[in-house]
Every structure is written in C-alpha cells, then in structure tokens.
Amino acid sequence: MRNYQRLLQVDRSSLKGMHFVVLKGGPGKERAISLQSGASVADALRSRQYYVTEIDVTKDLDLPKGTDLVFNTIHGTFGEDGCLQDLLEERGVPFTGDGAAGCRLAFDKILAKRRFVRAGIPTSPFEVLSSGEQPSFAPPFVLKPPCQGSSIGVHVVHNRQQIPLAMENVLKYGDKVLLESFFLGRELTVSVVANTVLPIVEIVSTNGVYSYENKYVSGRSEYFAPARLSSDHTAATMDTALAAHQALGLQLCSRVDILLSEEGRLNVLEVNTIPGMTPFSLMPRAAAAIGIDLSLLCEIIAVISLQKWKKA
C-alpha cells in the first residue's frame, strides 16, 4: 500500500477567498472533452465555495482582473502542448499543472519516446516516418500522430495492404507519423500527483481496443480501480509510471498510460499532463479509490501548483 496520507493532509487553507479561472475548450480535436472537464472542475470548485469564472478558449486569451489561479482543463493542442503554459508564464499568471518545457516534451510522443529510451523506461520499438516513406517494421504495428491525444488518428495495421490508407489518415494531423511495434497487453493507466502514485486503473474495452469511441461512449469500457493485478505487477507498474513521469521532468501531475503483457512485460505508451477531469475520467477514478473526490482532487492540484509557482 502506497502512502497517500501526504495528499490527504495537504493544507488547503491557502486557497481561501481565491478567484479560480477555469480554462476549457480550446482549438484542438479534444475540444468537446475539454468542455466537459472544465464544467466538472468549475462545479467541483464551486461546491467548495470558491469564486469561479469559466472561459471557453477559442482564440485569444483574455483573463479577468483578479485572477488568482488559472485551472487549465484544455486537453491537446494549445492547452497541453506548452503553448498556453508559455503564455501564462510570460504574463506571470499562476496556473495548474507543469510548466511549458515538461508539457511540450510529454505532448510530443516522438520526443517522449526518445527520452524514455534514454532513461531505460520500457516502451515499444518505434520509428518516425514522413510522407512517402515505407515502414521498415513488419505488421502488426501501430501508426499514430505524434501530437494528438484521446487515441485520435491511431491505426492498428495488420497487413501491408492497410499501410497506404493508414498513413494518409495519420498525415492529416501533421507531417510526421509515429510507428510503434504492436504490443498486446492489459490497458492500465496510472495517475501521479506530486510524485505520489495513485491506484492503478484497469480498462477493459468491449472490443479489446481502447479507441476514441470506447473512451467516451457509455458502456463501451469497464474500469477497475484499483486494477486486478498481483502485488508484484502492481508495484512494477507504479514504479514504471513514476519513472516515466520523472523522466520527462514533470513535478506536479500526469496520467501515464501503460500496457502489461501476460508475461509481465510493461510498455509505456504516453504521458498526459492535462488528464480528463470529469467524475468519470481516469485520474478522478483513481483518486476516488483512496477517498479523494473530484472537489478535493481539484483543491490538491491547486495547492501543489501554487506551491511550485511560488518556488519558481
């Protein structure tokens, strides 16, 4: 059992009287999910009697006077790729989550994979392709855009006949394609908050693939928190998630997606620095398993974010 007391005992008195500005939406492909996260965070903070302003960010960012802390719930492009963080850092506005450098590194799956390899983090063999290039790997493998989340644009290729269409579809999202060797395993996700690893969540999809539709359509997936793992596999998965989080230079919070094979091998897929924040999202599910509801989780994230900001 991990020591969760440090999270449960976080002093939240510094938040009293604060004006939270919840940023949601954004211009990216994950806009619809972000709007849900933002609304959930705003409701959670209001339930704790905070003054909250919600802003649906579409283009320009105009913050109201008296903003004490920006709570960032913009997934994907602009909110998770370091752009928003750069902007807020330049303005000197405190915000939740890690800074621009860590977010940029985590968001670009190619850069993150290279960092994992250097740090000895288990991750599938991969290569980077451009338009017109052919994979050197034999199928099956996975093709994905390097800078998208929520499984957007991901294709599992089982034979060479599927390559041209899959490449064409992935290249709609940018000029690079990330190819990863196919890895069969149980879908796990591990949330890290201030270097404390929350209980593992196991995801079981109806068709065995945790696609965009299976993530966001009710009834397409089952969730187990904590995951149904042996103590050895639990410890190894948690340690690997924390190592991946730290390898990217992250300090505040992230959600690490991992596969676990029948033989006990681990494969880190990616690290998300702005994870979903609805009551049914994966990080809140993990927190709920140790008695931390969404409103308390939001407070904890706010406190540790302010502490980091003050030290910067």
Pairing state between β 266-272 and 196-197 = unpaired
Q: With 90 as the cut, is the pLDDT of residue 151 above it?
A: no
Q: With 60 as the cut, is the pLDDT of residue 97 above it?
A: yes
Nearest alpha carbon to residue 253 among 311, 185, 307, 310? 307
CATH number for 106-122+183-288: choose from 3.30.1360.120, 3.20.20.70, 3.30.470.20, 2.60.40.10.
3.30.470.20
Q: With 50 as the cut, is the pLDDT of residue 239 above it?
A: yes
Instruction: Return d(Cα 312, Cα 83) in angstroms, integer.
Output: 19
Sheet holding 19-25, edge to edge: 51-57, 19-25, 69-72
The band of 212, judged by pLDDT with boundaries at 50, 70 and 90, is very low
pTM: 0.93
CATH number for 126-181: choose from 3.30.1490.20, 3.40.50.20, 3.10.20.30, 2.40.33.10.
3.30.1490.20
Instruction: Return d(Cα 122, Cα 138) in angstroms, integer.
Output: 21
Of 17-21, 59-63, 128-132, 165-169, the poorest mean pLDDT is in: 59-63
Instruction: Return d(Cα 128, Cα 131) in angstroms, integer.
Output: 10
The Cβ of residue 119 has, within 10 Å, a number of other Cβ atoms equal to 13
